[in-house]
Structure 1
Amino acid sequence: MKAVVLYGPGLVSKRDQLLKIKSSFEEDVVYSVDIKIDGVEKLQQLIQSAPLFASSSRLIVAENLPDNLDLEILPQGEESLTVLLVADSPRVDSKIISSAKKIKANITQFEAEKEITAFPFIDSLLEGKKEAFVELEKLLQNYGGMYTLSMIFYGLRRNLLPAPASPFMRKKVGDQKKRFQDCDWQRLYRIVLDTESDIKSGKTDEKLGLFRLTERFITN
């Protein structure tokens, strides 16, 4: 089993690397788990659930890792398995980083300096501001449609997970939630999934699909 750890505040470059790794695997052998929602037990189950007659390598993507997660507790999966572990900005003495070194994981840190951030787009999208179209254009020019879609998913998850610890972020997320009812989140998540599917299948032009999707959020 190969373990890969991506961490640090450089959200754009970190997400870009995640997408690059995912693109090298067939879609039907890529599995995702959100540790905050599903718990580390779900990750352990996925690692152990190797198919008897696997025809290709598997990829498991685990996000929102807690700072105190000991990676040594993870079971050893099959040799062709890659486990991609994505963390935010753990402390220097973080258990994630120290245990990652012990299991000989491939570790990459991403800094936030000079990044074109996706947050202005996400914030204006969820706040219903037309500036989202300008920010969308910037993201498409610099990072492409698949990265932009992944950030929209991130924005939705940010509003569905427990409130952030930071008072500033807690207020921001709280204000964004006021535009939506509980049923809206499920509907919007489905629309994003359908847009992603249509773009990947060639049914919808990437730029057109994302501009229509942005319009759906703004006019909600």
Structure 2
Amino acid sequence: MKPLLLHGPAKEASRKKLLEIKEKFTQNNVVVFEEGTDLQVILGGVATQSLFSDERLIVLENPHEDVILNLSLIAYCLSLAIWFDHEVNVKKFPGFEVMFFPEGKEVSIFPFLDLLAAKDKKAFLELQKLKDGGFDIYYFLTMTFYLLRNLVATPKRAPDFVRTKLQRQRKNFTEAKITQLYKDLLEIDFKIKSGLMEIPQAEFLLINRFLEHPIL
């Protein structure tokens, strides 16, 4: 696969595209290095992954400049996708297939995540808006995992308003509840991919698990 560069301020659209790319690989063959990951950690991970015979995808999210300068050490033997939540200079990425996501009117996933964190049944209505906007259950699951990770630990570069919001949202969850939700989502994801659960049921359960008073 030709190395891919996804960049631009339309984060929901670019995340959706990245998810589509990930789904071309089995879950165990996708390795994501999140923003702030040290270059040596990435190189060590790449060296380990290159030992396997199956085709593997390396995803770098908002990599630091030192990582960009050493892309030749990363892309030589594995499929590579680089994701930025802003526009970058594409001249730094020769040989990459470039996908640009300009800012525009797009449906945002974040009101849905906020409703989940508030344990609000209006999340069902917001989910329908997202479906009408072309998003699917795999994107909902990915971003809900993202919410749970943020409830555990605030991203290093999160703006103040996000930090404040996460502090407020954490009051709605115990550590045990977050752990259980994570397990529930993994189970839903597994059952969908195994053909053991229909999409409408998965969408319902995803939200219902978060509610203060689940719908029976």
Q: Does the alignment reach a TM-score above 0.5?
A: yes
Q: CA offsets per residue over residues 157-213 of structure 1, 9 Å max, x none?
A: 232333554222222111111111223222222211111111111111112112112
Q: Are 2:50 and 2:78, in contact at CA under 8 Å, matched by a contact in 1? A: no
CA contact (8 A) 1:47 1:75 kept: no
Distance 1:70 1:80 in 2: 16
* Residue in 2 that maps onto 1:93: none
How many pairs does the alignment contain? 211
Find the counterpart in structure 1 of residue 59 from structure 2. Answer: 61
Unaligned runs of 5+ in 2: none
| Corresponding residue for residue 6 of structure 1 | 6
- Match of residue 73, structure 1, among 70, 73, 86: 70
- Structure 2 residue aligned with 1:139, among 114, 124, 130? 130
Give 3-state SS (helix, strand or coil) of 1:218's partner.
Answer: coil
Corresponding residue number in structure 2 for 1:160:
152
Superposition TM-score, scaled by structure 1 size: 0.82
Q: Which amino acid aligns with 2:14?
A: K
Structure 1 distance, partners of 2:22, 2:94, is 22
How far apart in 1 are the matches of 2:91 and 2:40? Answer: 18
After superposition, where does 1:118-137 map in structure 2 within 5 Å?
A: 118-137=109-128
Q: 1:16 to 1:165 in 2, by over 3 A?
A: closer
Q: Which amino acid counterpart does residue 149 of structure 2 have in structure 1?
A: R
- Following superposition, the deviation at residue 51 of structure 1 comes to 4.5
TM-score by length of 2: 0.83
1:101 aligned residue: 92
Give 1:192's aligned amino acid.
Answer: L
Q: Which runs of 5+ in 1 are unaligned?
A: 91-96
Percent identical pairs in the alignment equals 30
Aligned to 1:94: none
Over the aligned positions, Cα root-mean-square deviation in angstroms equals: 2.6
1:17: Cα distance to partner? 0.9
2-side partners of 1:30 and 1:70: how far apart? 19
| 1:206 is aligned to 2:199 | yes
